[in-house]
Structure 1
């Protein structure tokens, strides 16, 4: 039999019209859902930007950046409303781009100052000997993951802009931020606090590192905190565990930093006598407290503060000491040799003390210590034991931290930046700027290290490290 030819069944015209209307209704509903979703994302981005802005205001972030963030956020929200209506006509294709622009502009405007300097030209103009070192402040908070706490975002901005500077100050600020992170932390279903909280904090720490590398003090504190989290019993409720960790952090700050500084001050004051002329380099919080305590005890002495670029931290120490009634002199490091003739002793702070007795501190410290040693001037270092490190280092090249080369353009010592002749350094192919932050001082140039466990020579540092690790 011949095969019957297959013909499509005829569809009534009214049925075709009904299907077209149904498809049109589905497209309309889909566009409406995408519009609602885009609006929710825009509102969420606005709330997050507002929260980061408030944290930035309380943390002394630049007010211009905050105002710019708010203005751009409001502008993006208004454009998002019109953008979502356009998206409904084209199937919602542009809604995601509008939302992403709202999120990135609201947060990245807060970090414009810290991200503008990280162009590829800086990487191309690094000094060859230090190319293995990373330049600080190489990214902003626009790349932050959604689980990064807003207080960590604000702290990262402070680190990147050098608003919070100094080893102890950074450690204290980091632990305070972790207290807030732990307070707001909630353990996900199916896991335990002792396992998941460590991973959560690690992500916060990884983001902090994008602003500046961890200091020795911060590394020691973070290792201690992770150890405390790991021993939290699974039988303890999450609320009790969080309260216990927050209290332990507070105790750690008090014992290892605040109380340790007071003990160091009481011990170091004994090395100051009437008529002494003491030299201090840059600014150290504990050294500043030593001078203020000696002044309160009625000891008559004077202080010469030697300072250096690019931060000019010594200016703040001079202001505080002069306000307290001390006789002070301020000189840049280029005039060091002219003031050493009248100096009776040198007091230095520390970023870290390594296990081989080397002092790791602000660049220029080694020059000050060596110059004092040549004139038989005793060099006394005030350092908390939390700054001691197991690391052994013989030079300042293998491990160090690089600041932005643009910071060397400022040649002014007042609050108003002055670009100077280096403002067009990027356009000079044969010119490279090196802004290295730390140097190493050999132990033979140091007479004594004053800690909360006593005054000791640099050769005794491994003993303190051993006791610290065993505890």
Structure 2
């Protein structure tokens, strides 16, 4: 009775203990089969050789992670390595060493190294450029973009691809220079063009060949007014081609037309403008110029070569500093040059001048000048001191559009643009601040620019 009251017999007591021990063993085996980490307190102690091999494997893993990080930073990798990508390479190193028990440790090291890699090289090359947020009131303004060549349409010609990158990086900057480079690139596009079967050159060339080139160039940097005028002219020439004309002859006609356009509207126009402007410079004059313009530089050199003795004051753009190049060029030819790197003391410099000579990126039909940012300040200061302001402009740069401020048409400087502030590349100078506009068709008052437009329409 006492035994029954106190508990089961010894044999019965031992059996439950055996049953409770048996389920524990499979649980441990199950954990091992799933690859879970083993409690480090129960892990077998590693020998000296195993510890050395373990340290060697971890060192190899760290080297692999550092090498991967450098490749990501240099942009050799398409995407940054993350923890998931770095783990297998480390695991492979461990496997080669034959240390299966170190998988849990290597996984931990791999994850830490992967996080370090992600923190150092997680930014892809495209994300290195800060995202610019333009206020909504200025959202209509354009900005040059360094578009990857791989994103371009498959029909974009290699020459146009290179030209777009040069424009986006401002390696080709002046409007007339961009125009000439564009026409020469289009000439190569036409040379390599072959009309597909069942199509005609006049109907197929513009929408399927020229338009992709234009779209790419516009994506790299907004077109200047002269490019827009020339492209409209080129499309008109394509539409005039007789479908019965053989393809090779039609292509030759287009290329000859482009050569004639460049010769008449750019080369000859620059020569005529340079001569007319140089004749306005007399002995003893002091000419004030802004920055560096190819047309202004040629005018000054032409006047000097004609025997006129004068001096030049160069007011430079404080951001671009291109006036330094002009100053060195003029000084090398023996012309007396005074250089000012910014607009400090502008009124004092202007009152020393006998004429302000500027080059226009474009002229609007209401007589306003579209020029480099800062041109308007010079013109206003000269007007206040009654100093004449002479503007040089090819007729291809004249547009029938109208502007009374600098925000209707403009570009944002991509190098000086942030969410807090940005700089405009151009400004608009009203006609009342300008004295005369010199073109290859003659010298006119700014308000008479529409007369030049009518002459151009009649000639076409």
1:260 and 1:250 map into 2 onto residues whose CA distance is 14
Partner of 1:248: 257
Whole-Å separation in 2 of the counterparts to 1:343 and 1:364: 17
Q: CA deviation at 1:284?
A: 1.6
Alignment of 1:321-336 (within 5 A): 321-335=330-344, 336=346
Alignment partners' CA distance in 2, 1:118 and 1:359: 33
Listed one character per residue, the Cα deviations across residues 251-280 of structure 1 (whole Å, up to 9, x for unaligned) are 100100110111111111121011111001
Partner residue of 1:354?
Answer: 364
**Aligned twin of 2:188:** 180
Residue of 292, 295, 300 corresponding to 1:283? 292
Cα distance, 1:306 vs structure 2: 1.1
Query: What is the match of residue 376 of structure 1?
Result: 386
Cα-to-partner distance string for 1:228-252 (whole Å, 9 max, x where unaligned): 0110111211111111111110110
Which residue of structure 2 lines up, in the alignment, with residue 317 of structure 1?
A: 326
Mapped partners of 2:380, 2:264: distance in 1:
33
Q: How far does residue 142 in structure 1 lie from its aligned partner after superposition? A: 2.2
Asked if the contact 2:147/2:165 (under 8 Å) is kept, the reply is no
- The equivalent of 2:34 in structure 1 is none
Q: Displacement, 1:117? A: 6.6
Contact 1:158 1:164 in 2 (8 A): yes
Residue in 2 that maps onto 1:160: 168
The structure whose Rg is larger is: 2
CA shift for structure 1 position 298: 1.1
Contact 1:135 1:401 in 2 (8 A): yes
Q: Tell me, yes or no, if the aligned pair for 1:280 and 1:304 is still in contact at 8 Å.
A: yes
> Gapped runs of 5+ residues in structure 1?
1-67, 74-111, 409-425
Kindly provide the CA deviation profile for residues 300-342 of structure 1, in whole angstroms up to 9, marking residues without a partner as x: 1111111114322222222222222211122133222231221
SS at 1:466 equivalent: helix
Distance 2:171 2:439 in 1: 27
Counterpart Cα distance in 1 of 2:365 and 2:127: 38
* CA distance 1:72–1:285, shift in 2 (3 Å): farther
| Alignment match, 1:436 | 424
Q: 1:139 aligns with which of 147, 172, 182?
A: 147
Deviation at 1:377, TM superposition (A): 0.4
| Aligned CA distance change for structure 1 residues 401 and 222 (closer, same or farther; 3 Å) | same
Aligned pairs (5 A) from 1:6-45: none
Q: Single out whichever of 259-268 and 317-326 deviates more from structure 2.
A: 317-326
Partner of 1:455: 443
What CA distance in whole angstroms lies between the structure 1 residues aligned with 2:127 and 2:232? 33
Question: Hey, what does 2:198 align to over in structure 1?
Answer: 190
**Which one of 306, 315, 323 corresponds to residue 297 of structure 1?**
306
In the alignment of these two chains, the number of paired residues is 339
Matching residue of 2:215: 206
* Aligned partner (choices 265, 273, 278) of residue 264 of structure 1: 273
**Aligned match of 1:149:** 157
Equivalent in 392, 397, 405 of residue 402 of structure 2: 392
* SS of residue in 1 equivalent to 2:338: strand
Q: Give the Cα–Cα distance (whole angstroms) in 1 for the partners of residues 436 and 293 of structure 2.
A: 17
Deviation at 1:138, TM superposition (A): 5.5
Instruction: Note the C-alpha offset of 1:281.
Output: 0.9
- Pick closer, same or farther for the CA change 1:128–1:312 going to 2, 3 Å: farther
Counterpart of 2:61 in structure 1 is: none
Separation (CA, whole Å) in 2 of partners of 1:396 and 1:128: 16
Number of the residue aligned with 2:456:
468
Q: Distance in 1 between matches of 2:284 and 2:149?
A: 51
- Please give the alpha-carbon distance, in whole angstroms, between the structure 1 residues aligned to 2:291 and 2:219: 26
Counterparts of 2:142 and 2:438 in 1: how far apart (Å)? 32
CA RMSD of aligned residues (A): 2.1
